[in-house]
A and B are shown apart, each in its own frame.
Chain A
Amino acid sequence: MRNIWTICRRELYSYFVSPIAWVLLTIFALLSGVFTYDMAGLFVRAGFESQMQGQSFPMNINEQVLAPLLSNISVIGLFLIPLISMRLFAEEKRQMTIELLVTSPIHDTEIVIGKWLSAVLMYGALLVVLLADVAFLFIYGNPDWKPFLTGFLGVLLQGACILALGTFISTLTKNQIVAGAIGFALALLLWILSWSTSFGSSPTVQVLNYLSIISHQDTFTRGVIDSKDVIYYLSMIFLGLFLTTRSLESLRWRA
C-alpha cells in the first residue's frame, strides 16, 4: 500500500508541476461551465414558457438538467481522458526512469496501480470543477441528490475504465502523442459501438452494445446502480491493469 501511494504521489506531483493538469482543468472548467449554463438556461426558459401558456407541465431538474449534463460530461471525458493517461509509462520509457522503478524493491502491480490511481485522482480533480457548477443548481433549485450521486459515480467509473486502458496503451510506446492518439481512437471506438443498436437487435449487436462504454451510463444517471454495468466497468478496469502489468513484465524480458 505504501508503495502504491509513493508512486501515486509522485505522479500527482508531476501532473501539477507541469502544465498538463492546469490545461486540462481549464478546458474542463470551460466546457462543463458552458454545458451547465446551457442546460440550466434551457430548463429555466421551458419553465417560463409553460407558465406563460398557463399550463403546468411537470418539470424535473434531475431529468432535464443533471442527467443530460452528466451524459455530456461523460462524452467530454472520452476526449480528455487519453490526455491524462498518455504520459504515464511513455514518459518513463523515454526518460529511462523506468529503470529506477523496476530496479527498486517494489512490485510491478504496485507501480501499475499507483500510476492508474494518480490518473483517476487527476480525473477526479476535473470532476470537482463540475461539482462546483452543479452546486449552483443545488443552491438555487431543489434537485434530488441521489440520482446525481449515482450518475457522478458512473462518470467516474467510466473514466477509471478508460484510464486503465490508456495506461496499458502508454506502456506500448515511448511517445506520448502516439499513446494519446491510440487511446483516443480506442475511446472513440468504444463509444460508437453503442450506435450499433440501430442495426437491430441480433445477438452480435447486443454484445457490441454491451461492450460499448457509453451504454452503461444511462442506468447510473437514472439513479440505478445495476450490477451488470458495475461489473462491466470493474472488469474493464481489471483488464486494463492486467494488460499493463503484463506489458511492463514483458519489457524486462525484451529489453
Chain B
Amino acid sequence: MIQVEGLTKKYARHVAVNDISFSVEKGDIVGFLGPNGAGKTTTMRILTCFMPPTAGRANVAGFDVFEQPFEVKKRIGYLPEAPPLYPEMNVRDYLTFVARLKNVPAAELKNRTEQVMERCSVADVKDKLISKLSKGYRQRVGLAQAIIHNPDVLILDEPTSGLDPKQITETRDLIQGLSGEHTIILSTHILPEVEAVCRKVIIINKGRLVATDSVENLKSRAGVGNAVQIQVETGGQADVIAVHQKLEQVQGVKKVLDRSTTGEHYVFEVESLPGHNARADLARAVVHAGWNLLELKSPYTLEEVYLSLTGGPAEENAAVPAGVVQ
C-alpha cells in the first residue's frame, strides 16, 4: 500500500530525513517511532503530499506522491500533530466542509458526516463550536476529519499527544477499530501505544531508519525477551545483598541487576539463560526466604529496544534540529 525508497528531505542547513526506505502492506497498523526531531513529521508530510521530497520516491496506494499528488490525496486521510480545526465553526459544519473538500459526492455529504460523527463519538457535540471543545473532543474531530472520505491510507501524527489517560485509551480503541478498513501509519514517541496498537514498528532516529520489524521480532532481536523484573519488600539495606545473592543462586539465572529502591521496596532485574524460564523458581526462592514478593513482571522491553536503537533516552536527542517547522 505504501512504498518508500531512498526518501530524503534536506533543508538549507540540515537533513531532516536521510535515505529512508520501508513498505507497508494493506491493512497494517504501523507505528512510526522516534525521538522528537527524528524526521517523523517530515516523512508524513511527504507521504501526504504536503511537501515534495528532495530525493527518493514514495508511492501511496499505487500513485507516486510527486507525479500524481491528486490521486494520492484522494486516497489519504491525514491528522497532523495539531488537528486542523477552524475554531469558529461548529463540528457538523466543519466536517461537511472537509467532506466537500475531499470530493465526497453531494448526495452522500449528510450521511458520511453523520457516520463519522457516530464513529468518532462526537455526535453529542455536533452543534458546538470547535473553540468550545475539550482537547479530547478536538482530537476526535480531527480523526473524523481524516476518515470522512473513507481513505485507503490513514496517516496520524501523534494522535494521542496531550490527552488524558482515559482519552488515550478511547483514541487507541478507535484507531484499532479503524484498522480493518484502512492502512494506518501513526507516529508517536509513547512506547506502550505502539505495543497496544501496532503490529509493525518503524524506528527512525536523526533522519535515518534504524529498524523496521514486528514488535515481537524487535524484542527477541534485542535479546531481552527472557528478562524478569522483581520487586521485593525487605527489612533493610543488609537484606538487599542477601536477596541479590539468593536470586543469583536460582537455576538458569545469568545475571542479576539492582535496579532501584523506594523505601523498603527493592527492584531487581534478572536475566535468565536462553531457553530457561526461571520465573517460578525466582518467586519460590524469594518467598521461602521470608521476604515479601510484591511484583514479578517482564520489564518494559520495547523501551529497551528503542533506547538501544536510538542511542539513549529520548530527551537527549531533542536538541537535534527538528525537521518539524511549526
Residues of A bordering B, CB below 8 Å: 2-3, 6-7, 9-10, 13-14, 17-18, 95-106, 252-255
Are the C-beta atoms of B51 and A253 separated by less than 8 Å? yes
**In the complex, A95→B81 CA distance in Å?**
12
Kindly specify which of B82-90, B120-128, B206-214 makes contact with the partner chain.
B82-90
Flag whether B319 is at the interface (Cβ < 8 A): no
Tally B residues with Cβ within 8 Å of A: 29
The one of A100, A101, A252 that contacts B51, using a Cβ cutoff of 8 Å? A252
**Nearest chain B CB to A80 CB, angstrom units:** 21
Flag whether B100 is at the interface (Cβ < 8 A): yes
Are the C-beta atoms of B103 and A105 separated by less than 8 Å? yes
CB closest chain-A residue, reference B145: A100
What are 21 A-to-B residue pairs whose CB atoms are below 8 Å? Answer: A6-B97, A6-B100, A10-B89, A13-B93, A14-B86, A17-B88, A17-B89, A18-B88, A95-B86, A97-B84, A100-B98, A100-B101, A100-B145, A102-B50, A103-B76, A104-B102, A105-B73, A105-B103, A252-B51, A254-B325, A255-B50
Flag whether B74 is at the interface (Cβ < 8 A): yes
Knowing A13-B89, A14-B88, A96-B84, the reply to whether A104 touches B51 (Cβ < 8 A) is no
**In the complex, A26→B78 CA distance in Å?**
40
Are the C-beta atoms of A103 and B87 separated by less than 8 Å? no
Are the C-beta atoms of A103 and B85 separated by less than 8 Å? no
**In the complex, A13→B88 CA distance in Å?**
9
**Nearest chain A CB to B101 CB, angstrom units:** 5
Are the C-beta atoms of A255 and B86 separated by less than 8 Å? no
Are the C-beta atoms of A6 and B89 separated by less than 8 Å? no
Residues of B bordering A, CB below 8 Å: 45, 48-52, 70, 73-74, 76, 78, 80, 82, 84-89, 93, 97-98, 100-103, 145, 325-326
**Nearest chain A CB to B292 CB, angstrom units:** 52
Among all A-B residue pairs, the 9 with the closest Cβ atoms = A100-B84, A97-B84, A105-B73, A6-B100, A104-B101, A103-B48, A96-B82, A105-B74, A99-B80
Measured between beta carbons, the chain B residues less than 8 angstroms from A10 are 86, 89, 97
**In the complex, A10→B51 CA distance in Å?**
24
Are the C-beta atoms of A103 and B89 separated by less than 8 Å? no
| Most chain B beta-carbon contacts within 10 A, residue among A14, A105, A254 | A105
**In the complex, A255→B52 CA distance in Å?**
10
**Nearest chain B CB to A202 CB, angstrom units:** 44
Measured between beta carbons, the chain B residues less than 8 angstroms from A96 are 80, 82, 84, 326
Are the C-beta atoms of B52 and A253 separated by less than 8 Å? yes
The one of A3, A14, A17 that contacts B101, using a Cβ cutoff of 8 Å? A3
**In the complex, A96→B41 CA distance in Å?**
14
Are the C-beta atoms of A104 and B73 separated by less than 8 Å? yes
Known: A95-B84, A101-B101. 7 other contacts (CB 8 A): A7-B101, A17-B88, A97-B84, A99-B84, A102-B50, A103-B48, A252-B52
